[in-house]
Amino acid sequence: MGGPPLLQPLRPPVSLDASTPSVQPPAVWRGQAALSAGIMLACLLGIYSRPLGSMAAFWPANAILLGLLLRHPELARHPGSWLCALLAYIAADLLTGATPFMALTLNLANLIGVLAGWLLLARVRNQVLGFQNQRSVMTVFLGCLLAATVSTLAGAWPSAVAFHMPLWQSALLWLSAEFYNYVLILPVFLAAPGGWPWTWPLTKQQRSWNDALPLLALVLSEALSQLIGGNGAIAFSIPAMVWCAMSYGVFPVTVLSLLVCLWKTGLLAFSAFDFVPAHLDDVLSYRTGLAMLSLAPLAVASAYTLRMQALQKLHHAVHHDYLTGVLARRALMERGQKLLSRLEEDGQSVAVLMLDIDHFKQVNDRYGHAQGDVVLQTFARLASEALRPDDLLGRLGGEEFAILLPRTQREQALAVGQRICERLRDHRFALEDGAPFQVTLSIGLHAVVSIGPQDSIEQLLSKADAALYMAKRSGRNQVRQYGPALAPSSM
């Protein structure tokens, strides 16, 4: 099999057409329309939760608006988005019979609180999205407290006038409601996947009945809290929520916390007291306590997720080559032997490829080790793209790699080897001065029709290495098959 000489100079690669269309973000007006509709619906829900002559028992609009603006910064940076939100607030109040004074002043207070929370959390947006930082929960807590406090300072007086109550009662009811709503709703938006709410997957795919046990424990704990009752019943679900946090992750637990708290609030509103100034002490205690308790599962889910991610990174670092990202030698040998054992039980075939980049030392000597690293990384990527998910690719050392192809016949493995050779040979590596060069690859192939007890990973690699040796002696840039003749393949 012939090929171009090593490091053959090439013409500079043709640049991409500048007119190639790129993916454009959705129009801002579409986002503003969705935001306005969502805010109006949330406002109507809050308005109809108002006890007679008092503030709303549940007001999700502010937390939803802050969450959407943090998830979609292109909307937050556009003044029209804030205007659309304000108009949606006012329209919802006017449609339900509010006076212009009430609609304008109360909703300006709502928007000012959202703005305060956004000014704080937008600075650390990447930290709080997905709760990928150890301080994310505390940062979100402070953002919720700031938004609730600023909104209270702006809205306590017009609320006292509108609902005919003392200023201090208005301030306490407003603060507790805002803090409660922010703490329960905002984490859902921050932990959610990208996109708009109707695109969010609410649960992960269940793998076994054991995955449902934490959720079942949560339902049973809620039933027990209603059966026993008392002031301590509010905390009965905490152990089950912690279990859910460790089992399902951050986003599902934020949804569960919201649903559980709304369930508790609804039952309380129907059985114990109304969210009115006459029950101010109970309302403050309940809202604050429930909001604080909801932070515990969130903190556990965040910490547990970060721990699992750290373990995954450590596992990847131990079992993968640091430069190319493919399997390290030890991991390849261990996984390869396990793969052979499974194939032996089923009487399946396997093919092994040994791959060596031709004259790699010359690349390092002529262009430097940094360029040599680029060659290794590029080769690993090109080879990976030519393989199936079940195939194993590992780096044995230096510029030498190995591939295990389960359930693969000799002809199929030969086609894979030739394809990898062609991809690397045709790839243009560019130097700093723009001059391109190319490298070639030699491959040794050994295929076994049916794995037997005598076939170990070491033996298969040894035979493929013998074929690789013949490929290099025969001129490189080719695939050689192990066998009595060791005949070269055609390219």
Q: What is the CATH number of the domain that holds 446?
A: 3.30.70.270
**pTM of the shown model:** 0.71
Q: Does a structural domain hold residue 22? A: no
Count of domains for the chain: 2
Task: Give the lowest-confidence range in 431-435, 461-465, 484-488.
Answer: 484-488
Q: 209 CB contacts (<8 Å, ≥6 apart)? A: none
Q: What are phi and psi of 30, to 5 degrees?
A: -65, -40
Q: What are phi and psi of 430, to 5 degrees?
A: -100, 135
pLDDT of amino acid 485? 47
| Residue 17 pLDDT greater than 50, yes or no | no
- Quick check: helix, strand or coil at residue 201? coil
Top pLDDT among 321 and 164 is at 321
Q: Name the average pLDDT for the chain.
A: 85
Task: Give the lowest-confidence range in 200-214, 231-245, 319-333.
Answer: 200-214
Interatomic CA distance for residues 222 and 269, integer angstroms: 16
| Residue 237 pLDDT greater than 90, yes or no | no
Residues 299 and 342 in one domain: no
- Taking alpha carbons only, the member of 46, 103, 276 closest to residue 173 is 276
Q: Does a structural domain hold residue 430? A: yes
Top pLDDT among 432 and 473 is at 473
Q: Does a structural domain hold residue 340? A: yes
Q: How many residues does the chain have?
A: 491
Alpha helices in 192-279 (DSSP H): 213-228, 238-248, 250-271
- Taking alpha carbons only, the member of 315, 310, 312 closest to residue 334 is 315
Residue corresponding to tokens 């025969």: 474
Residues 221 and 367 in one domain: no
Q: Does a structural domain hold residue 114? A: yes
Which of the listed residues 292, 315, 338 is the one where a domain comes to its end?
315
Helix 28-47 × helix 79-95 angle, to 10°: 30
Interatomic CA distance for residues 6 and 439, integer angstroms: 6
In DSSP terms, 447 is beta-bridged to 351
| Residue 331 pLDDT greater than 80, yes or no | yes
Residues 243 and 184 in one domain: yes
Which of the listed residues 315, 346, 378 is the one where a domain comes to its end?
315
Q: What are phi and psi of 480, to 5 degrees?
A: -115, 140
Which of the listed residues 263, 283, 315 is the one where a domain comes to its end?
315
DSSP string, 91-105: HHHHHTT--HHHHHH
Q: Does a structural domain hold residue 172? A: yes
pLDDT of amino acid 185? 95
Q: Does a structural domain hold residue 324? A: no
Here the tokens at position 315 are: 């596992």
Dihedral (C-alpha) 220, 225, 228, 231: value to the nearest 10 degrees?
Answer: 170
Given pLDDT bands bounded at 50, 70 and 90, which one contains residue 23? very low
In DSSP terms, 320 is beta-bridged to 327
**Do 184 and 291 touch, CB atoms closer than 8 A?**
yes
Residues 306 and 346 in one domain: no
Range of the domain at 76: 28-200+209-315
The Cβ of residue 389 has, within 10 Å, a number of other Cβ atoms equal to 4
Through-space distance between the first and last CA atoms of the chain, rounded to whole angstroms? 6
Q: 57 CB contacts (<8 Å, ≥6 apart)? A: 49, 50, 51, 177, 265, 269, 274, 275
Residue corresponding to tokens 């991409």: 16
Q: 298 CB contacts (<8 Å, ≥6 apart)? A: 131, 137, 187, 245, 250, 253, 254, 257
Residues 309 and 339 in one domain: no
* Average of per-residue pLDDT across 24-48: 84
| Residue 136 pLDDT greater than 80, yes or no | yes
What is the percent of the chain where pLDDT is above 70? 87
Q: Does a structural domain hold residue 405? A: yes
Given pLDDT bands bounded at 50, 70 and 90, which one contains residue 43? very high
pLDDT of amino acid 420? 95
* Average of per-residue pLDDT across 27-43: 89
CB-count exposure of residue 92 (10 Å: 0-12, 13-18, 19+): buried
In DSSP terms, 400 is beta-bridged to 356, 397
Residues 235 and 342 in one domain: no
Q: What are phi and psi of 302, to 5 degrees?
A: -65, -50
The Cβ of residue 112 has, within 10 Å, a number of other Cβ atoms equal to 16
Strands 350-357 and 400-406, sheet pairing? antiparallel
Given pLDDT bands bounded at 50, 70 and 90, which one contains residue 85? very high
Residues 307 and 333 in one domain: no
pLDDT of amino acid 3? 41
| DSSP letter, residue 488 | B
| The 3-state secondary structure of 370-408, one letter per residue | HHHHHHHHHHHHHHHHCCCCCCEEEEEECCEEEEEEECC
pLDDT of amino acid 216? 92
| DSSP letter, residue 130 | G
Residues 353 and 290 in one domain: no
Here the tokens at position 458 are: 């070491």
Residues 310 and 369 in one domain: no
* Average of per-residue pLDDT across 346-373: 92
Residues 106 and 144 in one domain: yes
**Do 43 and 61 touch, CB atoms closer than 8 A?**
yes
| Residue 490 pLDDT greater than 90, yes or no | no
pLDDT of amino acid 337? 92
Residues 193 and 246 in one domain: yes
pLDDT of amino acid 110? 95
- Taking alpha carbons only, the member of 98, 1, 7 closest to residue 440 is 7
Interatomic CA distance for residues 361 and 369, integer angstroms: 9
* Average of per-residue pLDDT across 131-139: 88
Given pLDDT bands bounded at 50, 70 and 90, which one contains residue 486? very low
Q: Does a structural domain hold residue 321? A: no
What is the percent of the chain where pLDDT is above 90? 56
Q: 282 CB contacts (<8 Å, ≥6 apart)? A: 272, 273
Given pLDDT bands bounded at 50, 70 and 90, which one contains residue 187? very high
Here the tokens at position 145 are: 């407290």
| Residue 421 pLDDT greater than 90, yes or no | yes
Interatomic CA distance for residues 367 and 425, integer angstroms: 18
| Residue 400 pLDDT greater than 90, yes or no | yes
Residues 311 and 338 in one domain: no
| Residue 4 pLDDT greater than 50, yes or no | no
* Average of per-residue pLDDT across 433-446: 90
pLDDT per residue over 265-296, tens digit each? 777 766 655 666 777 777 788 888 888 888 98
pLDDT of amino acid 276? 66
**Do 230 and 177 touch, CB atoms closer than 8 A?**
no
- Taking alpha carbons only, the member of 45, 106, 43, 57 closest to residue 282 is 57
| Residue 380 pLDDT greater than 70, yes or no | yes
